[in-house]
Chains A and B, each alone.
Chain A
Amino acid sequence: MSDLVGADHIVAGPGAARYVVDSKLARAVVFPGSVEEVSTTMAFASAEGLKVVPRGSGTKMALGGIPDRVDLVVVLSRLNGVVDYEPADMTATFRAGSLLKEAQAVLGRNGQFIGLDPPYADLATLGGILATNSSGPRRLRYGASRDLVIAIRVVHADGKVTKGGAKVVKNVTGYDMNKLYIGSLGTLGIIVEATFRLHPMPAVERTCLASLDSVDAARDVVARILDSPLVPFAVELLNPEASRRVAEQAGLPWPKARCGLAVAIGSIRPEAVDAQLETVRRLCREAGAAEGHVLDGQVHDAFWRATRDFALGDGLQVVLKASVLLTKVADAVRVGEEVAAKQGLRLGVVSEAGSGIIRYHLTGEAASDERFRQGVAEAVNRLRAFAQEAEGNVVVLDAPPEVKSRVDVWGLAEKALPFMRRPKAEFDPQRILNPGRFVGGI
């Protein structure tokens, strides 16, 4: 391996401990510096039958099932920077190990950005965000990775390098291979480059933050906002615990035991933003919400950063993500609160009410570790049953291996599995890449 990437870019033994995957220690951690080095590393791994776990900054390594085996961790962080960027075309290509934050900084100089704001957006790499299909509040307006990536370069299990898509905003040449790799958790190939369609940064962004005495009260307001001609870029519903913490980080007072509803509007013109915010405030008032704050400038940014990166304090933590019908979001939050109370867990909920995505953050409070694990397992089962009725799903985004060994972190229905296995069988028949981490143990 040293011959392939250079002795300075490989770590084994105690130094590899930082890179454990679900407490499994790799035989070596490699840091390839080019697409070619990723390719030779993979060719070597498949010739030797080594199991490979690709890694970016490591913000989402807790996602997925516990890997069957970890021989090599391939860290993409050296593979960073802009490949090409033409502001007037509003497209840009980055190496996959680039931090989203760095990419946004480059694009921001021209008033442009990638419409992604996933959790830990300041630490996450583009490759990691795409592989995990990670998204945040802005998704309502800008879509998710599948809507923003227009071309991709991938190193396959055998080391072959291929591309899909084209570096233009509209293209149907051949199959849309981008879709295959996005969200596939590195089980079909390692993403080494991605081209994004960009958006102009709105000159003005403001948010109406209203407080409500229950999630049920939010149901009606959210429905009315979504059924109106307003075009918010985010509609976020937070439970009291999350509201309090987020408000605190944004330096805002927050009334006790009230839910928060944040509706964000952006435009190139302030008058257009204010007119829409006025409508939002009226709808909130009519639904009995307390007169909301209007967030602007630094407070606005701080509020959304805290929401995006929401986390409970220290201690054992688990994060679950549910996807449900829009009409079921408020219920999903309520069911979460019920099950958390029953299990004696503390719960912070941030939900993208306009997209039907809910993030549950659970900690154990005073519960023993064993009690906590048991409680989480119960919560997953209860929420999964609810989500399935709401035509969606629940995924364990982040949990220690002791919790993961008790629950199916994905929960894919048995009958969908045989077909799901087929792409893996074609693209990585030796099961070199991330074995065991994806749905159904793929």
Chain B
Amino acid sequence: MDKERIARELIGIVGSDGVATDPGELRVYETDGLTIFKAMPDIVVLPRSAEQVAGVVKVCHRERIPFVARGAGTGLSGGALPVDGGILIGLNRMNRVLDIDYENQRAVVEPGLVNVWLTNALAPRGYYYSPDPASQTACSIGGNVAENSGGPRTPKYGVTTNHVLGLEVVLPDGDIVNFGGRTLDPLGYDLTGIFVGSEGTFGIATKVIVRIMRTPEAVKTLMGVFETIEDASNTVSEIVGQGIVPAAIEMMDNNSIQAVEKGVAAGYPLDAVAVLLVEVDGPKEEVEALVGPIIEVCKANHVREVRVAKDENERLLLWKGRKAAFAAMGQISPEYYVQDSVIPRTKLPPVMKLIGELSQKYGLRVANVFHAGDGNLHPLILYNSANEGELRKAEEMGAEIVKACVEMGGSLTGEHGIGLEKRDFMPLMFNDDDLEAMRKIKKVFDPDGLLNPGKIFPAAMRGGEVGPAGQREALDKVLRRA
């Protein structure tokens, strides 16, 4: 592409402070939350409105330039990487709350809005936005829509798709369209539903209509300290088996506890093999009634200590530990590589055992900190890339975990997405016909394949490999294992 000419045209659309071409400035965009992959865009554009996004996209479409949207860049599957170069459209300047309608329980926001800002805006009136990824102080709602993000509160309240009712989208040809709206059951195909979780490959969301909810009257958080992972896992199953639907059930193993305690001192016992955080919320009487049975289940499963947070400060501190867990890994390892597979909840004990065995086999430590209530694992494989071959080993080990989870009836990813990282694992779950159906829906939105190329579909399906050579090599190695 004629970079200078295109850049000039883009400046005409978004202004000179909204276009970057200088390699120094572009570097910020060469990776996302998964730092092992890198790819540089040719140009970065920072629009301020849907019309500007549409203007930029029209240029891409006319010139057949590949392009990709980026929110906050916290994604963990390389989703926002411009693997074919081209134009990266950063949405962080479109970060307003456009409308809050308490009576109809809806809010309309721009895609670049940071997740937690919405809840902050709603809190004074006693409302909140439920999906709460651990990255919520940084990640954008547009990124959440693209990844169908989850978070600790999903066992009771569901993931992003259950809370998004409508979208304004700039299609890859520059048309601005509306899907869904503020009311339920829009006519025709559920285009909002299929868009959520499309990982930035269908269009650029420029407006998001979400459901907002009344803040629960009461909330209680319990910490259970366990001597074995098995006891903790059985506790999870039995709580649910009692007919209790906790808002959250999170598990952390000893390596995670070590890191968290060094990082933020959340008050988890350093010698615990596993800690469970269980949160129940709802009307006061309901919450009161649930605490007792949960404690009983913990006791029946040999809990060493069970503590109910006595006030809001203690409760927040327990959660701070969980939410800061990824960041705290720096305390015990220079780097980590996180997997995100899901298993049926009943498979927790065998899969945790397997992860332990793989850790021995590869000689790499693993910290497990995950959404136990819905079987969504997050094994953080600790490595140091300064040690020759260690990253490679971490990736191989990750691949073995993913493969095992799928074989146990699970899924490749519960919330982080396929992106670039796991695209070649897709055939583990889906055959050619399944993938062809997905490809058809991709064609519905992006017939020219310009938007976020190189993601989701296995390399073999794409006709020719893309991306920087080093990255390809890493992927190949993982693949041979898978």
Q: Which residues of A contact B (CB under 8 A)?
A: 86-91, 111, 133, 135, 143-144, 146-147, 154, 156, 160-164, 166-180, 182-184, 188, 199-203, 223, 226-231, 267-269, 271-272, 275-276, 321, 323-327, 355-357, 390-393, 395, 410-412, 416, 419-420, 422-423, 426-427, 438-440, 442
Give the 3 A-B residue pairs with the shortest CB-CB distance, closest first: A179-B193, A229-B217, A200-B243
* Residue contact A356 to B184, C-beta cutoff 8 Å: yes
List CB contacts (< 8 Å) of B247-283 with chain A: 282-283
Q: Does B303 contact A (CB under 8 A)?
A: no
* Residue contact B430 to A168, C-beta cutoff 8 Å: no
* Residue contact B183 to A391, C-beta cutoff 8 Å: yes
Please, which residues of chain A bring their CB within 8 A of the CB of B417?
A: 172
- CB B437 to nearest CB in A, in angstroms, measures 5
* Residue contact B194 to A176, C-beta cutoff 8 Å: yes
Q: Which of A160, A201, A272 contacts B286 (CB 8 A)?
A: A272
* Residue contact A91 to B433, C-beta cutoff 8 Å: no
Can you identify 28 A-B contacts, CB atoms within 8 angstroms? Answer: A89-B346, A147-B162, A162-B434, A162-B437, A168-B343, A168-B344, A168-B414, A169-B375, A171-B414, A174-B426, A174-B434, A178-B193, A179-B196, A200-B243, A202-B243, A227-B214, A229-B284, A231-B283, A267-B286, A269-B286, A323-B184, A326-B103, A390-B183, A416-B188, A419-B177, A426-B440, A439-B188, A442-B188
List CB contacts (< 8 Å) of B84-106 with chain A: 102-105
Q: Which stretch in B234-242, B308-316, B459-467 binds the other chain?
A: B234-242
Cα separation A160 to B443 with both chains bound (whole Å): 18
Q: Which of A147, A276, A324 contacts B285 (CB 8 A)?
A: A276
Scan B35-66; emit 1 where CB is below 8 A from any A CB, else 0: 00000000000000000000000000000000
Q: Does B207 contact A (CB under 8 A)?
A: no
Q: Which residues of B contact A (CB under 8 A)?
A: 102-105, 147-148, 150, 154-155, 158-159, 161-162, 177-178, 181-191, 193-194, 196-198, 214-217, 237, 240-245, 282-286, 288-290, 293, 342-346, 371, 374-376, 409-418, 422, 426, 429-431, 433-438, 440-444, 456
* Residue contact B285 to A275, C-beta cutoff 8 Å: yes
Contact A88 to B237, CB < 8 A, known contacts A172-B148, A173-B412, A177-B438: yes
Cα separation A324 to B184 with both chains bound (whole Å): 8
- CB B295 to nearest CB in A, in angstroms, measures 15
* Residue contact A416 to B187, C-beta cutoff 8 Å: yes
Q: Which of B182, B196, B215, B344 contacts A176 (CB 8 A)?
A: B196
* Residue contact A231 to B183, C-beta cutoff 8 Å: no
- CB A396 to nearest CB in B, in angstroms, measures 12
Contact A200 to B187, CB < 8 A, known contacts A147-B162, A172-B413, A227-B214: no
* Residue contact B181 to A176, C-beta cutoff 8 Å: no
Query: Closest A-chain residue to B196, C-beta based?
Result: A176
Cα separation A183 to B185 with both chains bound (whole Å): 9
- CB A218 to nearest CB in B, in angstroms, measures 14
Cα separation A134 to B284 with both chains bound (whole Å): 33
Q: Which of A166, A182, A422, A423 contacts B411 (CB 8 A)?
A: A166
Cα separation A175 to B412 with both chains bound (whole Å): 13
Cα separation A323 to B190 with both chains bound (whole Å): 15
Q: Which of B102, B285, B343, B344 contacts A227 (CB 8 A)?
A: B102
Q: Which of A173, A267, A411 contacts B413 (CB 8 A)?
A: A173
Cα separation A422 to B177 with both chains bound (whole Å): 14
By CB atoms of chain B within 10 A, which of A174, A327, A391 has the most? A174
Please, which residues of chain B bring their CB within 8 A of the CB of A426?
A: 440-441, 443-444
Query: Closest A-chain residue to B154, C-beta based?
Result: A170
Contact A276 to B444, CB < 8 A, known contacts A143-B162, A176-B194, A439-B188: no
* Residue contact B433 to A173, C-beta cutoff 8 Å: no
Cα separation A231 to B284 with both chains bound (whole Å): 11
Cα separation A411 to B456 with both chains bound (whole Å): 36
Contact A423 to B189, CB < 8 A, known contacts A170-B154, A170-B159: yes
Q: Apart from A88-B346, A160-B437, what are 4 other A-B pairs with CB-CB below 8 Å?
A: A86-B346, A144-B185, A176-B198, A182-B193
* Residue contact B161 to A176, C-beta cutoff 8 Å: yes
* Residue contact B183 to A325, C-beta cutoff 8 Å: yes
Contact A163 to B181, CB < 8 A, known contacts A171-B411, A229-B217: no
Please, which residues of chain A bring their CB within 8 A of the CB of B444?
A: 422-423, 426
* Residue contact B409 to A167, C-beta cutoff 8 Å: yes
Contact A427 to B190, CB < 8 A, known contacts A173-B411, A229-B217, A327-B104: no
- CB A269 to nearest CB in B, in angstroms, measures 4
Q: Which of B184, B188, B431 contacts A355 (CB 8 A)?
A: B184
Query: Closest B-chain residue to A133, C-beta based?
Result: B185
- CB A387 to nearest CB in B, in angstroms, measures 8
Please, which residues of chain B bring their CB within 8 A of the CB of A87?
A: 241
Query: Closest A-chain residue to B160, C-beta based?
Result: A172
* Residue contact A180 to B214, C-beta cutoff 8 Å: no
Please, which residues of chain A bring their CB within 8 A of the CB of B158?
A: 143, 147
Cα separation A146 to B185 with both chains bound (whole Å): 10
* Residue contact A173 to B103, C-beta cutoff 8 Å: no
Cα separation A146 to B184 with both chains bound (whole Å): 11
* Residue contact B183 to A180, C-beta cutoff 8 Å: no
Cα separation A271 to B288 with both chains bound (whole Å): 10
By CB atoms of chain A within 10 A, which of B412, B416, B426, B437 has the most? B437
Cα separation A174 to B375 with both chains bound (whole Å): 18
Q: Which of A183, A276, A323, A438 contacts B283 (CB 8 A)?
A: A276
Query: Closest A-chain residue to B103, C-beta based?
Result: A327
Please, which residues of chain B bring their CB within 8 A of the CB of A154?
A: 437
Please, which residues of chain B bring their CB within 8 A of the CB of A163?
A: 430, 434
* Residue contact A89 to B345, C-beta cutoff 8 Å: yes
* Residue contact B440 to A168, C-beta cutoff 8 Å: no
Please, which residues of chain B bring their CB within 8 A of the CB of A419?
A: 177, 191
Cα separation A143 to B161 with both chains bound (whole Å): 12
Query: Closest A-chain residue to B186, C-beta based?
Result: A393
* Residue contact A88 to B183, C-beta cutoff 8 Å: no
Cα separation A426 to B446 with both chains bound (whole Å): 12
* Residue contact B187 to A412, C-beta cutoff 8 Å: yes
Contact A180 to B105, CB < 8 A, known contacts A200-B245, A356-B184: no
* Residue contact A173 to B105, C-beta cutoff 8 Å: no
Please, which residues of chain A bring their CB within 8 A of the CB of B346?
A: 86, 88-89
* Residue contact A172 to B415, C-beta cutoff 8 Å: yes
Cα separation A202 to B242 with both chains bound (whole Å): 10
Please, which residues of chain B bring their CB within 8 A of the CB of A161?
A: 433
Please, which residues of chain B bring their CB within 8 A of the CB of A267?
A: 286, 289
Cα separation A367 to B127 with both chains bound (whole Å): 49
